[in-house]
Structure 1
Amino acid sequence: MEIKKFHLSLILTNQCNLSCIYCYENNKSKKRMDVDVCKRILAKHLNRPEYDEIEIDFFGGEPFLEFATMKEVCEWVWSNTWKNKYIFFATTNGVLINREIKEWLRKNKNKFWVSLSLDGCRESHNINRSNSFDKIDLKFFKECWPEQTVKMTISKETVDHIYENITFIHSLGYNISGTNFAEGIDWENEKYVRIVTNELEKLCRYYMKHPEVKPVPLIHMAIHKCEDERQKVKWCGCGEHMAAYETDGTECPCTFITPMTFGEKVLHKIHDIDFHNHELFIDEPCFNNCYLDPVCTSCYGANLLSNGKINVRDKSKCALMKIRAVFSAALKAHMILKKPVDTPENRKSLIAIKKINDLYNN
């Protein structure tokens, strides 16, 4: 039986202690969420009969700027009884995790998980994230949450080090849950297409030589889904099985679509959107004409940022998606040859591999 989960994000602060070069949250302020606002929101969601589990994510800005609030709220929740199962998360740049915070996190590591943003080796990370590499205790995060993944962003300044940065993170013992290309860049530029192709080829060869390492989603796409019957469904639970609360308690569809990123005019425009109507979120030309549509992620906040429409995909990454598909196909073909098991997924994958190569590998 499928577990029904609701993803709840509390934006504790609009401030951040870093100035990452690719940050799209341009409306930062000194606003912070009051403890009582946090408690009111959590009390509302932790007794919801339609869900089995609530995933509670402390967000920002940098959420550990408000550690005192975070600590008080968690301990209040832990001291009470709720209908729903729940777990706490926080996404952090890692810089503020001092001795006091470490002690509290270590004590509660089984019920409070932390996801670290790490953009690769020292040089690339420092370029992207305000020279913060040496301020992060990487061993601490690995010690407390050995199964937790890290998140990585690729900027135009570090794109030519994709292979080096990803393999460096693997050398630390981490898997990578997401490798996002920064927003607001013309990734269709021939220079970037050439660089990404070269970097992903090296990365593909690395995974072929190291089958014990879990491949990053960048070239480990579920290409078999391209052969599934197409359905008009949203990519995520944005505004439906997911909500983010601003510092004043205002509900937003997700952590991307908030006042930190968008002005009142844009937010007002999406106020009346029915987030339960999946058809409103479908990019019809992509759905009808692109073979990769079933595996081409669509971030509705990124769409809104790039072209002002929730449903129209940000086309600046189309070329990159095709490159990713070619190397995902190559890696999947290698895996099947190494372990030729006849499964429905593998049969679909073999068809997808041929089609992807015919369409995009030229």
Structure 2
Amino acid sequence: MEYVDITADDTKEIILMATNACNLKCKYCYETNKNAPSMYLDRLMTQLEYEIRDNSTGFKRFVINFHGGEPFLAFEKIKSLVEWIKLRFSDLNITFTTTTNGTVLSNEIKEWLLDHKNEFIPILSLDGNKDIHDRNRGNSFDKIDRKFFSDNWPNQGIKMTVSPNTIGDMFNSFVYLHNIGFYPNPTLAREVDWDLDIHLPIYVEELKKLSRFYIEHPKVKPGQLLDLPLHKFSPEYVSKHFNSCGAGFNTIAFDIFGNRYPCQTFIADLKKGYDMSEMDRIFSILKKNHNLNVSPKCEDCSIINWCSPCYGINYSNRGNMGEFDSTMCVFNKVTLLCAAQMFSEIYSNLEKYPWINKEPSELFHSIKGIKHIFELANQSLL
């Protein structure tokens, strides 16, 4: 199965918290509520009936994402819900996915995944070789059947999380994972102890090496870290809205009880209960939100057309969707500049890169966007 683009305007992602339980204690994990309960199926079925049939006008495709914890600890319930959804919504285009640490896959789970290979995509979390992976993920490397994933879902990206104690290994980890048959998508860990004086220079050098790899390997499509929507920076580009993610729009999440949230990062400690009026307020703000206006300090930001704040993590950790982590803002700006530099070289020899979108309008705006990014950098606005 090919890579699933959950950011497409006609695709709705519905995230289901399969279970809060997890068998690992990864050092950078933002999920702190790791208790044992798993999905209440009857309630979720009712919610899904409404969400898909009555509250999804304009969507042509659905992605059902089982979240955790470690989702496969609730395998029997996942299996039951997948079969129900397939029967209930057989007329719709629905893909299933989950992110797993890969350590609890029994032979039964593997067989089921293979039987559903063309509709269910398991995304593996793998940070690099044994030494790098085990630094943060509890000596779990040797428990993962890596070949099972690389052989059966070679086009699907894997989740490669980069933390302060592995930042210097980002490029080498990428190359290692690429060489053993994966499509790695490096992402920076959030809400951890980043030190800009120490880690930013290292990150810049690692980005340069990664971008050079993509330039010199034209058949390898850049991962999400550097494959950025540069066309949005064209002064002539017009967009409906610049929300950086689909939370509350084309992304909806349900906790194990079937309570509705804009995305999984808003799901709070289950012991505190569900505040429906508060979530209604959050949904209302997100619906009205344009240009990240939930954060006044971002109004004049040079990268407002693209950013990667996480409203849910901001809300859960600082009580305010607009209280962005200023450290991540710096990382975002250097990432954007590196992406522009990489694509300026790629666009100079388009025919070498089969994955490039050569649609004239997108090419036009992307080139304009790159020029504008360089102008911002020359004005010290990046």
Kindly state the Cα deviation for residue 287 of structure 1 after the two structures are TM-superposed: 3.3
Identity %: 31
In the TM superposition, 1:167-206 aligns within 5 A as 167-177=175-185, 179-187=186-194, 189-206=196-213
Kindly state the Cα deviation for residue 326 of structure 1 after the two structures are TM-superposed: 2.6
Match of 1:92 among 73, 93, 100: 100
Q: Distance in 1 between matches of 2:166 and 2:346?
A: 29
Root-mean-square deviation (CA), in Å? 2.8
Q: Secondary structure at the match of 1:6?
A: strand
Q: Secondary structure at the match of 2:321?
A: coil
Which amino acid is 1:224 matched to?
H
Q: Which residue of 2 aligns with 1:238?
A: 247
In the TM superposition, 1:214-253 aligns within 5 A as 214-228=221-235, 229=237, 232-253=241-262
Which amino acid is 2:312 matched to?
G
Kindly state the Cα deviation for residue 262 of structure 1 after the two structures are TM-superposed: 10
Q: Which 5+ residue runs of structure 2 have no aligned equivalent?
A: 1-7, 352-357
Q: Distance in 2 between matches of 1:218 and 1:262?
A: 35
Deviations 1:47-72 (A, max 9, x none): 23613332111111111001111112
Instruction: Tell me if structure 1 keeps the 8 A contact 2:98–2:121.
Output: yes
Deviations 1:172-219 (A, max 9, x none): 232234x32222235352001121122112222222222222223323
Instruction: Tell me if structure 2 keeps the 8 A contact 1:326–1:356.
Output: no
Query: Judging changes above 3 Å, is the alpha-carbon distance between structure 1 residues 361 and 120 closer, same or farther for their aligned structure 2 residues?
Result: farther
In the TM superposition, 1:126-141 aligns within 5 A as 126-141=134-149
Which amino acid is 1:189 matched to?
L
Instruction: Tell me if structure 1 keeps the 8 A contact 2:249–2:287.
Output: yes
Q: Which residue of 2 aligns with 1:355?
A: 375
Q: Which residue of 1 aligns with 2:67?
A: 59
Q: Which residue of 2 aligns with 1:278?
A: 289
Q: Which residue of 1 aligns with 2:111?
A: 103
1:315 corresponds to 2:321: no
Kindly state the Cα deviation for residue 92 of structure 1 after the two structures are TM-superposed: 0.9
Q: Which residue of 2 aligns with 1:304?
A: 315
Deviations 1:293-317 (A, max 9, x none): 2122221113224532113432121
Q: Which residue of 2 aligns with 1:345?
A: 365
Kindly state the Cα deviation for residue 5 of structure 1 after the two structures are TM-superposed: 2.8
Q: How many residues align?
A: 359
Query: Judging changes above 3 Å, is the alpha-carbon distance between structure 1 residues 339 and 193 closer, same or farther for their aligned structure 2 residues?
Result: same
Q: Distance in 2 between matches of 1:245 and 1:19?
A: 23
TM-score, structure 1 as length reference: 0.88
Instruction: Tell me if structure 1 keeps the 8 A contact 2:261–2:279.
Output: no
Q: Secondary structure at the match of 2:264?
A: coil
Q: Secondary structure at the match of 1:276?
A: helix
Which amino acid is 2:256 matched to?
T
Query: Judging changes above 3 Å, is the alpha-carbon distance between structure 1 residues 70 and 335 closer, same or farther for their aligned structure 2 residues?
Result: same
Q: Distance in 1 between matches of 2:374 and 2:259?
A: 48
Which amino acid is 1:209 matched to?
E
Q: Distance in 2 between matches of 1:285 and 1:338?
A: 39
Q: Which residue of 2 aligns with 1:31?
A: 37
